[in-house]
Amino acid sequence: MEEVEALMQMNRWALCTLGIGPDAGTGHAGSSHIAFIPPGTSPDQGMMFVPLDHATRYVAHPRCPENYYEYGMTVGPATLALAQKHLVVAMGPHKPMNVADTLLGKCDLNRGSSHHTQLFPNVHWLLDQEAAEELERRLFSQK
């Protein structure tokens, strides 16, 4: 892991593609992580091994989440900061609350998706209709 981090630190890369964790609507506690980065992770953290929460495992393998990977290697916020642009991709019915809370909520280290995406200067979002539903509802209900 240290070797990969060292290679990534050598260059500032053009684009980093990220995903956002699933909502609590899966029947499990929601997970607002970005790139599997756990809540409360220091902005100085580089790459790390992390346990995958049950909601993430359920969405990835709904019939038998206990047979899905328990851990993953992920970039940390310090590694993400090396990218010139960040693209967050969210699709499907398991994402709308986390998307809306991330984009409209306050920046909070315990909601990694808001903390990391609101601190980076060049973040773009790609959402399908299902993932954008709650964001759209909140934006239009404010008018």
The C-alpha atoms of residue 111 and residue 10 are separated, in whole angstroms, by: 29
The C-alpha atoms of residue 51 and residue 21 are separated, in whole angstroms, by: 13
Percent of the chain with pLDDT over 70: 96
* Strand order across the beta sheet in which 85-90 lies: 15-19, 85-90, 123-127
For strand 48-51 and strand 123-127, is the pairing parallel, antiparallel, or unpaired? unpaired
Position 111 scores a pLDDT of: 80
Q: Is the CB of residue 47 less than 8 Å from the CB of residue 53?
A: no
Q: How far lies 39's CA from each of 117, 121, 141, in Å?
A: 13, 21, 29
User: pLDDT tens for residues 107-116?
Assistant: 888 787 887 7
Highest CATH level, class, for 2-141: alpha beta
Position 118 scores a pLDDT of: 81
User: pLDDT tens for residues 4-53?
Assistant: 777 777 777 888 888 888 887 666 677 778 888 888 888 899 999 999 88
Q: pTM for the full model?
A: 0.81
The C-alpha atoms of residue 21 and residue 36 are separated, in whole angstroms, by: 7
Position 116 scores a pLDDT of: 76
> pLDDT at residue 123 above 60?
yes
The C-alpha atoms of residue 53 and residue 71 are separated, in whole angstroms, by: 9
> pLDDT at residue 133 above 70?
yes
